[in-house]
Structure 1
Amino acid sequence: MERVTSLSPDSRAIVVDDVSVDYPAHGISGTHRAVDGVSFSVEWGEVVGIMGESGSGKSSVARVLAADHLRPSGQNVSPQIVGGAIRVGGSSVRRLRRRDLPRFDFDVAFLRQDAADTLDPERTAAEIVAAPILERDRRYNRASLDLRVATLLDEVMLPLGTMVKYPFELSAGQRQRVALARTLALDPKILVADEPTAGIDISVRSAVSDLVDRRRRDGDFAAVFVTHDLDLLRALRGRVIALHGGSVVGVGSVDGLLESAEHPFLTALAHAVGPRRPSRRRSDASSS
């Protein structure tokens, strides 16, 4: 499919304007407001981090940015955008329909929070990473596909031997990196990642920030990273949005937010983190 991205008038990669998100009533649970009047934007070439405690609304923001609320969710309740506007890559997310998703997904990639746990157990790592490409073009040149898969796995610091392994043969961190490589298979212009370093050893987490830096240098690219990994947020060197109770309680650099601690959540986080210390590196990168 040809990549077509209609830019919004202001040409920002992402615009979130006074957005509210609810989870509808189900069972004995009533309607829950997960995101309440959140606004921010992401310029092309920028990576914005979102942090917050459990229940702060950060994963809900990621899901609606990636139009995940339009996808079948089985027995799980999907979020609903009930207020405001979202534009991602020029597309109005509130106006999208399921039939629009294939074109939207060509430009916008989503790494889910549970990505490492939902890899197809009957496919090798190479087959998993190649799947998004073959879903678009079953006749894709095999040599080119193998090279593309090998390059992506190398980019997330996995050895080529990983290509023939199944998910059960990989560690949690290795599965997470396979999921990340799969997310990047179509060379998206916008990446929305929910806890991208989950399970990944500290010694190879730099692969995540490095691959983002490469994409920013190579052309138009933007990303939103939802994470509690403060070291990753520092490495990304971008703005960070702090959420609490579904609302924005701070915007700035990680250390700027911790130093100012203008909200009780940030004060508690600053006390929990303590003085910044250099991270230690481990030598067993290939096993994480």
Structure 2
Amino acid sequence: MPQPSALPAPAPAPAPPVIEVTDLALRYPGQSTLAVTGVTFSVPRGQTLAIVGEAGCGKTTLARALAGRAGLRKSSSPLVDGGSLRVAGHSRPKPGRRERARWQFDVGYLAQDAGERLHPRLTIAENVAEPIYLRDQKFDRREAGAAVAGLLDRLHLPLGFMDRFPHELSRGQRQRVALARALVLEPKVLVADDPTMGVDAIVRGPLLDSIRELRLDREFTAVVIAHDLPEVRRFTSRVAIMQGGAIVGLGNIDEVLDQPLHPYVRKLGEVAR
């Protein structure tokens, strides 16, 4: 007598997104106008979302919030005015220093022009290792040195650079050092705000390739702010297009451009072709 075939095992439930933003509104202290309004998107674990848009559209403001830099007592720090965000298990920024530090340890942040903000009196190795010290002052120096050396090697920087100072490196090399610093704690998420800004064209592509390769190797989730759609294609196929503080296009790059729902998206598509 034939036996009934076994039912297929149910598919596992999809993992919750590492980044989840819902109807988010951001403004700056003393300003009534919203810098970001009604923004909603999510990013699954291990994936990359590029955020593209013209200058002043809210990309950097959004990046700061994702990196846990909202609500600081600084004029450059945005305030959450509505909606919600959840990044690497952390929800809306809290005032406590310890909670905010945990957020920033779990989310590597490569700010605009970060390579130019390296401490001038620290060596390259000390600059990259500084987040390890800030997290745990009793850290193992040998392990920290190995972590720094490994990252510099992955970013195609000679190990001889470890004892050099920032002014001895080119701008592109300093930006790669800043990327190593952002990743030295092995964060769950990387937020990179226009990582190729001010970098020579010849090294922009390799820098973006390094972000893609490290993301695949370390399995972190990434949000990368960018301006150029052809460059975006080097490291992801998923894009959010911003204008006037809002997302006006979201999804696969080709699908968003082929079926534009907003005049600005249509314009970007024409330029990209």
Q: Which residue of 2 aligns with 1:282?
A: none
Are the structure 2 counterparts of residues 45 and 10 from structure 1 closer, same or farther at C-alpha, using a change threshold of 3 Å?
closer
Q: Which residue of 1 aligns with 2:226?
A: 227
After the TM superposition, which residues 81-230 of structure 1 pair with which residues of structure 2 at under 5 Å, given as runs?
81-95=80-94, 97-204=96-203, 205-219=205-219, 221-230=220-229
Q: Which residue of 1 aligns with 2:3?
A: none
After the TM superposition, which residues 22-101 of structure 1 pair with which residues of structure 2 at under 5 Å, given as runs?
22-25=27-30, 30-73=31-74, 76-95=75-94, 97-101=96-100
Aligned with 1:174: secondary structure?
helix
Q: CA deviation at 1:253?
A: 3.1
Q: Distance in 1 between matches of 2:96 and 2:231?
A: 34
Q: CA deviation at 1:260?
A: 3.7
- Are 2:17 and 1:12 equivalent residues in the alignment? yes
Aligned with 1:93: secondary structure?
coil
Aligned with 2:121: secondary structure?
coil
TM-score, scaled to structure 2: 0.85
Q: CA deviation at 1:207?
A: 4.2
Q: Note the alpha carbon deviations across 1:137-176, whole angstroms, 9 max, x for none.
A: 3343333222211111122221222212212122211111
Aligned with 1:68: secondary structure?
coil
Runs (5+) with no aligned partner, structure 1: 1-8, 276-288
> Is the contact made by 2:105 and 2:135 (CA closer than 8 Å) also made in structure 1?
no
Q: Distance in 1 between matches of 2:94 and 2:140?
A: 35
2:56 partner amino acid: G
1:23 partner amino acid: Y
Runs (5+) with no aligned partner, structure 2: 1-13
Q: CA deviation at 1:24?
A: 3.0
Single out whichever of 112-121 and 203-212 deviates more from structure 2.
203-212
2:216 partner amino acid: R
TM-score, scaled to structure 1: 0.81
Aligned with 2:16: secondary structure?
coil
Q: CA deviation at 1:222?
A: 0.9
Q: Note the alpha carbon deviations across 1:220-240, whole angstroms, 9 max, x for none.
A: x21111111434421222310
Are the structure 2 counterparts of residues 72 and 152 from structure 1 closer, same or farther at C-alpha, using a change threshold of 3 Å?
farther
Q: Note the alpha carbon deviations across 1:243-284, whole angstroms, 9 max, x for none.
A: 0001111113334434444422233333444x4xxxxxxxxx
- Are 2:263 and 1:264 equivalent residues in the alignment? yes
Q: Which residue of 1 aligns with 2:5?
A: none
Q: Distance in 1 between matches of 2:15 and 2:95?
A: 20
Q: CA deviation at 1:193?
A: 1.0
> Is the contact made by 2:208 and 2:234 (CA closer than 8 Å) also made in structure 1?
no
